[in-house]
Chains A and B, each alone.
Chain A
Amino acid sequence: DQQVKQNSPSLSVQEGRISILNCDYTNSMFDYFLWYKKYPAEGPTFLISISSIKDKNEDGRFTVFLNKSAKHLSLHIVPSQPGDSAVYFCAASGNNRKLIWGLGTSLAVNP
C-alpha cells in the first residue's frame, strides 16, 4: 500500500504559467517532506523541503505548501520554464526514520 501518492503520472504546462504538482500521504507520523527533480540519465536532485511545523516554504520560483489536515502537499513552480521539464518525486519521512517515495510526476513545459 503506497503511503505517498502522486496521482498524476504526467502534467503538461505552457511556458510562463504555473505548474502545480500534488502529493498525498496516508501516514500522519510523517514530519518532513521533500521534493526531488530528475532529468533523464541523471540521478534525482534535491529541490525543496518542508517540515511539518510549517505550512509553506519558498525558494525562488518554487514553493511547497503543506496541508496537514488533508495530508496533502503541493509544489508550485511559477513561472514554469522549459528547463523545468523533468520527473518530480515527492518523499516523506517520519520518526521511524524511513524515507518513503512517491512514483513521480513527469512535467512537460511547452515553449
Chain B
Amino acid sequence: DVKVTQSSRYLVKRTGEKVFLECVQDMDHENMFWYRQDPGLGLRLIYFSYDVKMKEKGDIPEGYSVSREKKERFSLILESASTNQTSMYLCASNLRGEVNPYNSPLHFGNGTRLTVT
C-alpha cells in the first residue's frame, strides 16, 4: 500500500520565518505534488515535480519554493511565511502517466495544518 508521509500534522510559525514542509513517499513514484486546501477555494496546486531536481510551477507558486533532491522526498519551502499562507498543505504522489501526469491516481498524505501568526 502506498504511503505518503508528511512530517508534521500541525505547525505554528511566526510571520517572516522560513518554513520547511517535508513529504516522503515509499512507492518509487516519479511525480510528486504540493497542494493547499482552503475553505471555498478547494485544492490548489502550488508546485509539482516529475523527476529528481525537476519542478514545475502550479497555479499559486508565489511565496513558495520546492526541493527534490531524492526521488522519495519533496520539500515545500516558505521563504518568509505570511499570515495568508495559513492553510492545510497536502502532499501527493503518483506514477508517471503516459501523456498526462494525472491519469494515474494521486496518493495523498494526511496534510500539515500550518498556522502563521
Within the complex, what minimum Cβ distance (angstroms) separates B24 from chain A?
14
Residues of B within 8 A of A102 (CB): 42
Q: Given the known inter-chain contacts A44-B90, A103-B42, A104-B42, please indicate yes or no for A34 contacting B102, CB distance below 8 A.
A: yes
B-contacting 9-mer, from A16-24, A62-70, A76-84, A92-100 = A92-100
Known contacts A89-B42, A99-B45, A104-B42; A42/B102 CB under 8 A: no
Are the CB atoms of A93 and B42 closer together than 8 Å? no
CB distance from A101 to the nearest CB of B (A): 5
Q: Given A43-B90, A95-B100 in contact, is the A89-B108 Cβ separation under 8 Å?
A: no
B7 → A minimal CB distance (Å): 14
Which residues of A lie under 8 Å from residue B59 when comparing CB positions? 98
Contact A46/B107 with A97-B101, A97-B102 known, Cβ cut-off 8 Å: yes
A41 at the interface (CB under 8 A from B): yes
In the complex, residue of chain A having the shortest beta-carbon distance to the beta carbon of B35: A101
A43 near B43 with CB under 8 A, answer: no
Number of A residues contacting the other chain (C-beta, 8 Å)?
22
Is the pair A97, B92 in contact by a Cβ cutoff of 8 Å?
no
Cα(A44)–Cα(B94), bound, Å: 13
Q: Given A93-B100, A97-B100, A99-B102, A44 and B108 touching (CB < 8 A)?
A: yes
Q: Do residues A32 and B102 form an inter-chain contact, with CB atoms below 8 A?
A: yes
Q: Do A32 and B40 touch (CB < 8 A)? A: no
Contacts of B57-84 to chain A: CB distance below 8 A: 59
Report, nearest first, the 9 A-B pairs whose CB atoms are least far apart.
A43-B108, A46-B105, A93-B102, A99-B102, A101-B43, A103-B42, A101-B42, A44-B108, A43-B110
Task: Please list 7 pairs of residues, one from A and one from B, whose beta carbons are closer than 8 Å in the complex, sorted by A's number.
Answer: A43-B92, A44-B43, A45-B108, A46-B105, A97-B99, A101-B42, A102-B42
Which residues of B does A touch, CB under 8 Å? Answer: 4, 40-43, 45, 59, 90, 92, 99-103, 105-111
